[in-house]
């Protein structure tokens, strides 16, 4: 506000100028209307930018991208990707699955990837601390449970901890390596909560991912394994001996995040993992959804 404008206000509002106060009020009302019009114009501009962004994406051809995902998501993501391809072009997404820790190390080493789907929050935070992703943008897409599995001819009895001890005393138990594999971390936490981790450590066979633990039971190389419920459901020839209560470990949550420089289709795919159609796919494959 200039000095000339201030002088005008003083002249119409100084003592003894009652006849001019109406003019001052009219001037103030005019400024208020001007401010309201400016705010409206700002919102119109923001809306226009937002609309322009989405129109640009709609007009831009779909861009291929790569997804790194925890091995326990293999089947559900294959279904999700097929559904996504129906809207765009087949072959748009390249999927690579492995242990979450293995994938995180590859990203740290500079592997070309656009979307990372982790089986726990810890590896998301690890990459975020390295400045490789923006952890705050990670989306919680699904939840899982832990179970104890054996071959169908294995006979166990008693509570969960009693069955685990029986397996440990007579054979070996496979589970993800707790130093790198989320399923192994959840399993170790559960065994610690049951106060039998130390007793079973000598019988534990660590694996590079949860699917490998499942495979060792199928091949008869171990007597049992602690795996995700969704993996156990894929192998009817195995028996679920017990389900771990979720209070024994931190919640098993899968997180999806796009890396810097990812194309718009990568962000769009992550959004699609929370759609009504995606929820149906998650639940059909045995996962719980947020």
Domain membership flag for residue 290: no
Res 170: pLDDT: 87
Sign of CA dihedral 261, 54, 90, 282: positive
What is the domain count for the chain?
A: 3
Task: Indicate the Cα dihedral angle 245, 247, 249, 252, nearest 10°.
Answer: 80
Q: What is the pLDDT of residue 215?
A: 95
Same domain? For 87 and 99 the reply is yes
138 and 158 together in one domain: no
* Whether 176 contacts 187, CB under 8 Å: yes
Q: What is the enclosing helix (H) or strand (E) of 166? A: helix 160-170
Same domain for 237 and 157?
yes
User: Which pLDDT score, from 0 to 100, does residue 36 have?
Assistant: 55
> Would you say residue 119 lies in a domain?
yes
Q: What is residue 22's predicted lDDT score, i.e. its pLDDT?
A: 44
129 and 256 housed in the same domain: yes
Residue 72, in any domain of the structure:
yes
State whether 191 and 206 are in the same domain.
Answer: yes
SS3 261: coil
Is residue 93 located within the same domain as residue 134? yes
Q: Are residues 233 and 162 in the same domain?
A: yes
What count of other Cβ atoms lies within 10 Å of the Cβ of residue 115? 22
In a domain, 187, yes or no: yes
CATH number of the domain residue 276 falls in: 3.40.190.10
Q: What is the mean pLDDT of each run of 10 residues along the chain (290 residues)?
A: 44 46 47 50 43 50 94 96 89 95 96 97 96 93 97 94 95 95 97 97 95 95 97 92 96 96 95 95 95
Shared domain check, 266 and 201: no
Could you say which DSSP state residue 73 is in?
A: G
Structural domain of 181:
146-243
In a domain, 90, yes or no: yes
Helices (H) and strands (E) in the chain, counts: 12, 10
């Amino acid at each position: 506000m200039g000095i000339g404008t201030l002088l005008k206000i003083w002249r119409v509002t100084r003592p003894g100028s009652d006849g001019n106060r109406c003019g001052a009020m009219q001037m103030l009302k005019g400024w208020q209307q001007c401010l309201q019009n400016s705010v409206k114009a700002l919102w119109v501009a923001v809306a226009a930018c937002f609309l322009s962004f989405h129109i640009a994406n709609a007009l831009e051809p779909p861009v291929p991208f790569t997804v790194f995902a925890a091995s326990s998501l293999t089947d559900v993501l294959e279904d999700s990707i097929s559904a996504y391809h129906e809207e765009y072009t087949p072959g748009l997404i390249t999927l690579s699955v492995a242990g979450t820790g293995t994938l995180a190390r590859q990203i740290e080493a500079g592997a070309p990837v656009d979307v990372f789907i982790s089986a726990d929050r810890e590896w998301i935070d690890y990459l975020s601390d390295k400045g490789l992703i923006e952890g705050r943008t990670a989306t919680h897409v699904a939840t899982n449970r832990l179970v104890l599995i054996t071959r169908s001819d294995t006979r166990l009895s008693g509570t969960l901890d009693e069955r685990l001890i029986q397996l440990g005393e007579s054979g070996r138990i496979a589970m993800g390596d707790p130093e790198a594999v989320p399923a192994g971390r959840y399993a170790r936490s559960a065994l610690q909560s049951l106060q039998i981790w130390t007793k079973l450590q000598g019988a534990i066979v660590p694996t590079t991912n949860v699917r490998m633990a499942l495979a060792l039971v199928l091949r008869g190389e171990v007597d049992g394994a602690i795996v995700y419920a969704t993996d156990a459901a894929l192998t009817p020839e195995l028996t679920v001996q017990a389900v771990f209560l979720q209070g024994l470990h931190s919640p098993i949550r899968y997180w999806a995040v796009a890396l810097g420089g990812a194309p718009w289709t990568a962000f769009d795919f992550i959004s699609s993992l929370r759609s009504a159609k995606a929820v149906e796919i998650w639940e059909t494959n045995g996962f719980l959804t947020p």
